[in-house]
Amino acid sequence: MGPNNKVILLRLISLISLITYTECASNYTFSSDFLLGTATSSYQIEGAWNESGKGGNIWDFITHNTPEYVYDESNGDIACDSYHKYEEDVALLKELGVDFYRFSVSWSRIYPNGYPYNPNAEGIAYYNNLIDALLAQNITPMLTMYHWDLPQRLQELGGWTNSYMVQLFTEYARTLLENYSDRIKYWITINEPYQICNQGYGEIAYAPALGMSGRADYLCAHNLLKSHAEVYHLFNDTYRSKNNATMGITLSASWYEPGSSEEEEAAERARQFRIGLYANPIFSTNGDYPQVMKDYIGNQSSAQGLSKSRLPQFTSDEIEYIKGTSDFFGLNHYTSRLTRNSPASNNSVSFDNDLQTEQWFDSSWPMDAAGRNAIVPWGFRKLLAWIKNTYNSPVIHVTENGCPDFGELEDNVRVSYYGSYLEALLEAINEDYVDVQSYAAWSLMDNFEWRYGYVYRYGLYYVNMTDPNRPRIAKSSAAFYQDVIANRVVGSYPSLS
Ligand SMILES: *[C@@H]1O[C@H](CO)[C@@H](O)[C@H](O)[C@H]1NC(C)=O
Ligand SMILES: *[C@@H]1O[C@H](CO)[C@@H](O)[C@H](O)[C@H]1NC(C)=O
Ligand SMILES: *[C@@H]1O[C@H](CO)[C@@H](O)[C@H](O)[C@H]1NC(C)=O
Ligand SMILES: *[C@@H]1O[C@H](CO)[C@@H](O)[C@H](O)[C@H]1NC(C)=O
Ligand SMILES: *[C@@H]1O[C@H](CO)[C@@H](O)[C@H](O)[C@H]1NC(C)=O
Ligand SMILES: *[C@@H]1O[C@H](CO)[C@@H](O)[C@H](O)[C@H]1NC(C)=O
Ligand SMILES: *[C@@H]1O[C@H](CO)[C@@H](O)[C@H](O)[C@H]1NC(C)=O
Ligand SMILES: *[C@@H]1O[C@H](CO)[C@@H](O)[C@H](O)[C@H]1NC(C)=O
């Protein structure tokens, strides 16, 4: 199937949600110290893939070598051209009135082949300029060190399955801390370990698309958690005081609702495998992987004739070293799923066979305008309460939330999505006393949506990807969000049915 047919197919399988124009409005308000912002990431917006000394990363590699990996056979060579247009981006942020902007640094712009010798001065300068432009407009920068664009040469060493990554990532992080900690208050080490490891090493949904489920995903998780912890300790010991800053990790989490009253245990197991895998070692009182994962993977491994579990073990020193290494829980949330038990179908090695559940969208839930995710604001509220109760009320920064469509300027479904999710957030804060301190809409503008190329659009601003100037045009959702930020309340929005 050619790229055009694939795009048409994606559009056909989307079910356009029915919208009734009941007006909704909440009475809760965002306090003056609550931060409202937007988020992006380097590979998805910057372009300039081979300019100013940048080296190749795993997304350059996969899109250039197997263009058919991406639905529309596009890539991030130019993307939104933010490498050249960052001043225009800052002007958009100013127009929205955001309190903060979350962006990520491209590792191979700083260290072209990943090794920490001679940082590329032009790469260092680009983020200096971006940070200074934000501060000049009173916009607080939130910096993510790693948002999926690993230098390709490090992938050739095995990427995150190689324990040497702990040292390499720490040295890269040290350079960012050295250069930017005089101006950064919010640091995020790593964005979405689940997508990196389970979907990039275990499955093929993201680069490097290894498809070694039940093996490479656990090795990746193990090294990634150690890398995060080492960087946190470096920050905590040496850099925190420079700007009274905080540092955390961002985890992706859907809400897993039991498919029936008998399935609470299955739903909780899914939460532990998909969220607890990364959250338990860092945020729980005892540290280490969730007990249910150790039990299930250990049993599956021994049934498969292995003398040791496929889930690596932390030493007790490592457990202590990783525990508590996040000042906040960075949360990326998009949707919810129903869950039920589904016994391992055969003896094959995979994360799903270890977890032994299946998940799906309830047919009564409204879908986003691209037909990708269900819109379930109450699931967001339940997830926030679950994080509070499971991990001793951490400070939470919602570092991504949003929904896709195909790039409509009058994006009413997105307006409804933001309206209903922001109300659920206010209820979690005011009725469940969850300590959420910021919220970032994903995304500032349409950008390269990984395997979905430029088909799925998440922006508050539309970007014309066939115009060499990449003009940005405000959608209806930009005006809606601008109003939320200006008035600190969720304005009326069309309700979904
Ligand atoms: C907001 O307050 C008004 C007046 O007190 C009340 O009628 C309305 O039901 C409230 N709305 C919500 C969503 O709680
Ligand atoms: C960068 O890549 C483009 C193709 O995207 C190519 O035309 C150009 O020559 C390359 N520039 C350098 C400096 O290699
Ligand atoms: C930026 O980081 C590099 C590598 O750590 C260092 O050599 C350089 O001095 C730093 N620049 C500043 C301004 O701190
Ligand atoms: C440092 O930040 C914390 C909040 O993260 C705040 O409570 C504290 O007052 C700040 N300290 C200084 C010296 O600014
Ligand atoms: C794992 O195996 C042990 C020993 O056979 C058994 O007691 C336990 O119930 C099993 N646990 C799970 C989660 O299957
Ligand atoms: C961070 O540093 C403080 C002050 O030195 C220390 O009390 C705390 O235990 C450190 N945090 C971790 C997780 O090591
Ligand atoms: C075994 O189960 C896995 C994961 O559920 C599936 O991908 C695979 O096709 C199955 N193999 C056989 C031989 O049924
Ligand atoms: C996008 O840009 C192309 C080239 O300039 C132009 O032909 C097209 O009409 C634009 N599309 C939209 C939706 O503005």
- CA end-to-end span of the chain: 35
Residue 294: count other Cβ atoms within 10 Å of its Cβ: 14
What torsion, rounded to 10 degrees, do the Cα atoms 127, 130, 133, 138 define? -90
User: Does 355 sit in the ligand 5 pocket, CB within 6 Å?
Assistant: no
In the prediction, which pLDDT does 1 show? 53
Could you give the CA distance from residue 103 to residue 419 in angstroms, rounded to a whole number? Answer: 23
Q: Is 473 in the pocket of ligand 8 (CB under 6 A)?
A: no
**How many domains are there within the chain?**
1
**Tokens representing 345?**
């179908």
pLDDT score of 466: 97
The answer to whether position 14 is within a domain reads no
The model's pTM: 0.95
pLDDT 10s digits, 118-174 = 999 999 999 999 999 999 999 999 999 999 999 999 999 999 999 999 999 999 999
Query: Looking at residue 358, what is its pLDDT?
Result: 96
- Ligand 8 contact via 50 beta carbon (within 6 Å): no
Residue of 23, 24, 26, 27 to test ligand 1 pocket, by largest number of atoms within 8 Å of CB? 27
In whole angstroms, what is the distance from residue 222 CA to residue 149 CA? 19
Q: Is residue 359 part of a domain?
A: yes
- 246 CA from centroid of ligand 4 (Å): 10
* pLDDT tens digit sequence for 80-107: 999 999 999 999 999 999 999 999 999 9
Residue 16 scores a pLDDT above 70: no
pLDDT reported for residue 346 = 74
pLDDT band at 13 (very low <50, low <70, confident <90, very high): low
Residue 181, pLDDT above cutoff 80: yes
Which pLDDT band holds residue 25 (cuts at 50, 70, 90)? low
CB 483 near ligand 2, within 6 Å: no
CA-CA distance, 116 to 467, in Å (whole number)? Answer: 37
In a domain, 489, yes or no: no
Chain mean position to CA 446: 16
Going from the Cα of 72 to the center of ligand 7, the distance in angstroms, rounded, reads 29
pLDDT, one tens digit per residue, over 344-398 is: 877 899 999 999 999 999 999 999 999 999 999 999 999 999 999 999 999 999 9
Residue 496: pLDDT band by 50, 70, 90 thresholds? Answer: confident
Ligand 6 atom at minimum distance from 325 CA: 13
Paired residues of 462 in beta bridges: 473
Residue 461 covered by a domain: no
> Are 89 and 41 contacting, i.e. CB atoms less than 8 angstroms apart?
no
Ligand 5 centroid vs 300 CA: distance in angstroms?
9
**Percentage, residues of the chain above pLDDT 70:** 95
73 in any annotated domain? no
pLDDT digits (tens, 9 = 90+) for 449-462: 999 999 999 999 99
Q: Residue 401's pLDDT is what?
A: 99
Residue type, 387: I
SS3 state at 494: strand
Instruction: Indicate whether 19 pLDDT > 60.
Output: no
The whole-number average pLDDT for the span 310-315 is 98
* Number of Cα atoms under 13 Å in the Cβ half of residue 16: 8
As a whole number of angstroms, the distance between CA 98 and CA 445 comes to 14
Element (H, E) at 110: helix 107-110
- Looking at every residue in the chain, the average pLDDT score rounds to 96
268 by DSSP, 3-state: which?
helix
Query: Residue 250 has what pLDDT?
Result: 99
Number of Cβ within a 10 Å radius of residue 365: 17
CATH code of residue 308: 3.20.20.80
Residue 11's pLDDT band, with cuts at 50, 70 and 90, is: low
- Cα–Cα distances (Å) from 159 to 207, 219, 322, in that order, read 11, 10, 20
Res. 27: pLDDT tops 90 = no
What local confidence, expressed as pLDDT, does residue 15 receive?
Answer: 42
pLDDT tens for 394-410 read: 999 999 999 999 999 99
Cβ(20) – ligand 4 distance below 6 Å: no
- Assess whether pLDDT exceeds 80 at residue 495: yes
Which residue range(s) make up the domain with 415? 95-100+113-440
Nearest to 339 by CA among 268, 269, 259, 264: 259
- Checking if the pLDDT of 315 tops 70, the result is yes
Atom of ligand 3 nearest to the CA of 175: 5
CA of 429 to the centre of ligand 1 (A): 17
pLDDT at 21: 47
Whole-number Cα distances in Å, 195 to 61, 280, 285: 18, 17, 25
Candidates 335, 458, 326; CA nearest to 396 is 326
Closest residue by Cα to atom 3, ligand 8, is: 467
Q: What share of the chain is helix, strand, coil (3-state, %, to 5)?
A: 45, 20, 40
Q: How confident is the model at residue 202 (pLDDT cuts 50, 70, 90)?
A: very high
Q: Can you tell me the distance from the alpha carbon of 293 to that of 199, in angstroms, rounded to the nearest whole number?
A: 18
In a domain, 388, yes or no: yes
Q: Tell me, what's the pLDDT at 17? A: 45
User: Vertex 340, ends 360 and 421: CA angle to 5°?
Assistant: 45
Question: Is 50 close to ligand 2, i.e. is its CB under 6 Å away?
Answer: yes
Q: Which token pair is 241?
A: 């005081």
